[in-house]
Each structure stands twice: as C-alpha cells, then as structure tokens.
A = this chain, B = another copy of it.
Amino acid sequence: MAHEALPLKILAEQFASLPGIGMKTAWRLAFYVLTMTKEQSDEFAHAITTAHDTIKNCSVCQNYTDKLVCDICADGMRDKSVICVVESPKDVVAFERSRGFKGLYHVLHGLISPMDGIGPDQLFIKQLLSRIGDPQQEVKEVIMATNPTVEGEATAMYLSKLLKPLGVKVTRLAYGVPVGGELEFADEMTLSKALENRNEL
C-alpha cells in the first residue's frame, strides 16, 4: 500500500484499531467515509468526540450517562428494591434489550482478577455498599449478573460475602442451556448445570 494517499491510510489504520475490524474492512470503511457528504463525515467525527467528552459514570449506578444520574436510576417506574450487579455498561444494554428486568443496575466496571492485578478496590464496590446501606433506598435483593467465567464467579462470591451480613438477599443468574441453542454443542458444565436446575413442567 506504499502508494496510498496518507490521510486515507491513517483513517484506515484508525478503523483497524477498533476491536473486530480487520485491515480489509478498515479500508472498505475508510473508502466509504470518502463517499459521505462533508456534513455526514463531520457528524461522524463529532459523534466520536462528543460521546467521549460527555459520557461519564452515573453517580448512583456507575452506568454510562451524559447526565449526573442516568435515565434508569431517575426512572420512577423502576423497582428500586432490586439491584442487578453487572461487569460493564454493555451488560446493561443486553439486559435492557431483553426487557426482562425492571429493577436498577450497578456497574462494577470490571471483575476481580488477581492475574491482571485487578482487586476489589479498583471496582465500584464501595458505591454498591453505600447504596445498600442507604435506608432510603430499601434494597431487598441484589442479583449477581457477572459473566459465568472464573473472574465473574469469584467476583460474585466475594460480593455475596460482603452483602449478606447487610441483611440483603443475594441471588445469582441461572445457568442452563441457551434458548435456541443446540444441546449437541453445549459444554459439559452447562449441560450438568441445566440438569441440576431442571424445572417441573
């Protein structure tokens, strides 16, 4: 690519630095940007800087927001007695998409991972404890919705030990076979958990 125009190459490299975007896709996207109108490309660039500059953590649940308190925490219709603890804002998006949860969230922004040097102090755990300690909030249940990985399990166990003495019910997401998935491709752990937690029909 020695003969490519430099600004185009720089743009392609920027796209390629995004997760899951290979060099070929990056070039395709860079070429596409050139076919945009000036207004469209300015809007795109503006969206990047604006999102980066205005998005911060909600002062209550630590989810991404452009306000002091995010829309979910500020929503009077949500059930304030249940807090769903997740690793990252992406998980909030996933739960909201499922429309199955009407309580509040708490985003840890990571998982306890001694291998990566991440201890409880680097996560937003203090903020979770103060929410539960607050008598005005009346939190009755905390759902551990961290990933079913080693780090996710360890974090859920750690938090549950911290939370139970505060007199709050601590629950964990159910394990089982994914809906629409094929049993044939489910791993042994998932299958045995699905058997163990079987429900009567």
The answer to the question of A28 belonging to the interface, with a C-beta cut-off of 8 Å to chain B, is: yes
The docked-state distance in angstroms from the alpha carbon of A55 to that of B28 is: 15
The docked-state distance in angstroms from the alpha carbon of A44 to that of B16 is: 11
Task: Tally chain A residues at the interface, Cβ within 8 Å.
Answer: 55
A27 touches B90 (CB 8 A): yes
10 CB contacts below 8 A, A to B, read A5-B70, A7-B51, A8-B64, A11-B48, A14-B48, A19-B32, A33-B52, A41-B48, A42-B52, A44-B48
The answer to the question of A1 belonging to the interface, with a C-beta cut-off of 8 Å to chain B, is: yes
User: Inside 8 A of A65's CB, which chain B residues have their CB?
Assistant: 5
The docked-state distance in angstroms from the alpha carbon of A3 to that of B72 is: 6
The answer to the question of A187 belonging to the interface, with a C-beta cut-off of 8 Å to chain B, is: no
The answer to the question of A126 belonging to the interface, with a C-beta cut-off of 8 Å to chain B, is: no
B5 touches A18 (CB 8 A): no
The answer to the question of A193 belonging to the interface, with a C-beta cut-off of 8 Å to chain B, is: no
Copy count, this protein chain: 2
A52 touches B38 (CB 8 A): yes
The answer to the question of A4 belonging to the interface, with a C-beta cut-off of 8 Å to chain B, is: yes
The docked-state distance in angstroms from the alpha carbon of A20 to that of B24 is: 12
The answer to the question of A31 belonging to the interface, with a C-beta cut-off of 8 Å to chain B, is: yes
A66 touches B5 (CB 8 A): yes
The answer to the question of A129 belonging to the interface, with a C-beta cut-off of 8 Å to chain B, is: no
The answer to the question of A25 belonging to the interface, with a C-beta cut-off of 8 Å to chain B, is: yes
The answer to the question of A30 belonging to the interface, with a C-beta cut-off of 8 Å to chain B, is: yes
The docked-state distance in angstroms from the alpha carbon of A65 to that of B8 is: 8
The answer to the question of A71 belonging to the interface, with a C-beta cut-off of 8 Å to chain B, is: yes
